[in-house]
Amino acid sequence: MILPRAASGAYPTKAFLAKEMPDVLREAFGTSDIGESEQIEIEAPHIASDANIVPVRIKSGLANTESIALVVAGNKSPFTAYFKLYESQSFVSTRIRMSDTSDLLVVVKADGVLYANSRPIRVGRNSCGA
């Protein structure tokens, strides 16, 4: 059985603690200058009916996708999730919280290069404290 190591040191603590938008990218990826790519497909509702459960599906059309990161610009801690992929994988889906209407930014690392794409998601009532 493989368990997560409690102190693996791999957890990007600084990225999760960063509060403002360009800082988050700098802490997480070392740069805030990331090129856009339409090959990152983001499937998410235009208007989230429940801000606490916003389903997102990410499909990366980029060859050799190594990691997928989700960043919600409007949240108090914008860095949401970071998926490291070790095989030929290109799809990840989960459910996220959004405290306000904002952009969902998806950063994909493929062949060592960072690419980003974003989608605005509108949020109704029931916002949360994330």
Partner 1 sequence: MAGSIKIRAYEFDGEVTVKSIISHPMETGPRKIKKTGKKIPSHFIREVIVSRNRKIVMEAFWGKSISRNPFLSFQIPGRKGDTITISWLDNRGNSDSATAKVR
Nearer to partner 1, 34 or 81 (CB): 81
Neighbouring C-alpha atoms within 13 Å toward the C-beta of 38: 0
Phi, psi of 122 (to 5 degrees): -90, 145
Neighbouring C-alpha atoms within 13 Å toward the C-beta of 64: 5
- Could you say whether residue 63 binds partner 1 (CB under 8 A)? no
Per-residue DSSP letter, 5: -
- Could you say whether residue 9 binds partner 1 (CB under 8 A)? no
Are the C-beta atoms of residues 52 and 121 closer than 8 Å to each other?
A: no
> 96, 105, 106, 107: which one contacts partner 1 (CB under 8 A)?
96
Q: Cβ 38 to partner 1, closest distance in Å?
A: 21
- Could you say whether residue 47 binds partner 1 (CB under 8 A)? no
- Could you say whether residue 53 binds partner 1 (CB under 8 A)? yes
- Could you say whether residue 97 binds partner 1 (CB under 8 A)? yes
Beta-carbon count within 10 A of 65 CB: 24
Amino acid type, 102: S
Give contact residues for partner 1 (rule: CB under 8 A).
Answer: 1-4, 6, 8, 10-12, 16, 52-55, 57, 72, 75, 77-98, 128-130
